[in-house]
Amino acid sequence: MKQYLDLEDINDLDGLIQKAIALKSNPFNHQDLGRNKTIGLLFFNSSLRTRLSTQKAAQNLGMNVMTLDLKTDSWQLEFEDGSIMDANTAEHIKEAAAVISQYVDIMALRAFPTLTDKAQDQKETILKSFQKYASVPVVNMESATAHPLQALTDAITIVEHSTIKRPKVVLTWAPHPRALPHAVPNSFAKAMQMMDVDFCITHPKGYQLNPEITRNTRIIYDQDEALMNADFVYAKNWSSYADYGKVLCNDQSWMITSKKLNNAKFMHCLPVRRNVIVSDQVLDSDQSLVIQQANNRTYAAQAVLKELLESM
């Protein structure tokens, strides 16, 4: 592995999942690999799980960690080629990425979408610019359109909790008061397409994800039909992709309840709004895997960082 921008950077998903599960048993076994190596965690946006779990993963591997909050610690960056920088931006990504590359061995980046400029978000301007001008491997800690560390976490969790060979996995839209990105459902869909699972997506009309990502995945507009006989139900809100960044529906009947969940396991990437996305009853039951998922964030990140360190 030479970088981890999206799931396509994984050569062997099953193998990587098994490596992550092995690291979970022996997290401190590879500290020589990271000794005197430094990861830079660069945040354009807030983070709790990603920040702590990626830092933990790096420290488990013996790495040093340097964190930079680009929205508060530093200046505004310019991403446009050839621009005359006489306004608000003080440093061009060309310099920023090249310079930071000299202080770190791996660069991890979080940069959310605008949700107003579809073209720019789809181009992944920030992530791709860092990758273009960095001279070290770049890890995506959630970009405009992808959250591949979360999707790897989700894949690990499904493998750990599967009791049958080919479980049915349902990604269901759920209501939320604000407009949210597509990164998590996009990457989850990609991961499920790479695994031996019976996968479908359910959402209200108008909430189709990018068809270049969903491809042949079944989309079912009737949530009850989709959830039938599910083994894993992954709930997540996202804003409209067609009517970009808009909240078209706030139908509370899409909230996941114990009745809807039936015997399935419940998954969510967190943070989750209780009694909006999912009922207290589900989250407080043994069927909820959300805390285990969050724990696996450490080992997903650690498996990726270990591969990157081994490729150096």
Q: How far is CA 140 from CA 209, 227, 243, in A?
A: 20, 31, 26
Q: Sign of torsion, CA 281 263 151 117?
A: negative
- Contacts (CB under 8 A) with its own copies, residues 202-241: none
Stretch that binds its own copies, among 11-19, 74-82, 116-124, 212-220 (CB under 8 A): 74-82
- CB hemisphere CA count around 157 (13 angstroms): 30
Choosing from 11, 25, 26, 82, the residue that interacts with its own copies (CB under 8 A) is 82
Alpha-carbon span 233 to 255, nearest angstrom: 12
Q: How far is the CB of 81 from its own copies (least distance, A)?
A: 8
Q: Which of 143, 147, 107, 139 is nearest to 125 (CA)?
A: 143
Contact in structure between 17 and 194 (CB atoms under 8 Å): no
Choosing from 8, 12, 116, 177, the residue that interacts with its own copies (CB under 8 A) is 177
Stretch that binds its own copies, among 90-98, 152-160, 181-189, 257-265 (CB under 8 A): 90-98
Contact in structure between 276 and 175 (CB atoms under 8 Å): yes
Binding status of residue 280 toward its own copies by CB under 8 A: yes
Length of the chain: 312
φ and ψ at 107, to 5 degrees? -115, 125
Stretch that binds its own copies, among 80-88, 116-124, 223-231, 237-245 (CB under 8 A): 80-88
Binding status of residue 18 toward its own copies by CB under 8 A: no
Choosing from 28, 205, 229, 251, the residue that interacts with its own copies (CB under 8 A) is 28
Choosing from 18, 21, 33, 69, the residue that interacts with its own copies (CB under 8 A) is 69
Alpha-carbon span 53 to 31, nearest angstrom: 17
Binding status of residue 85 toward its own copies by CB under 8 A: yes
Give the rounded distance of the alpha carbon of 63 from its chain centre: 22
Chain residues that interact with its own copies, rule: CB under 8 A? 27-28, 36, 38, 40, 43, 46-49, 51-53, 55-56, 59-60, 64, 66, 68-69, 72-75, 78, 82-87, 89-92, 94-96, 98-100, 102-104, 177, 270-276, 280, 283-284, 290-291, 294-295, 298
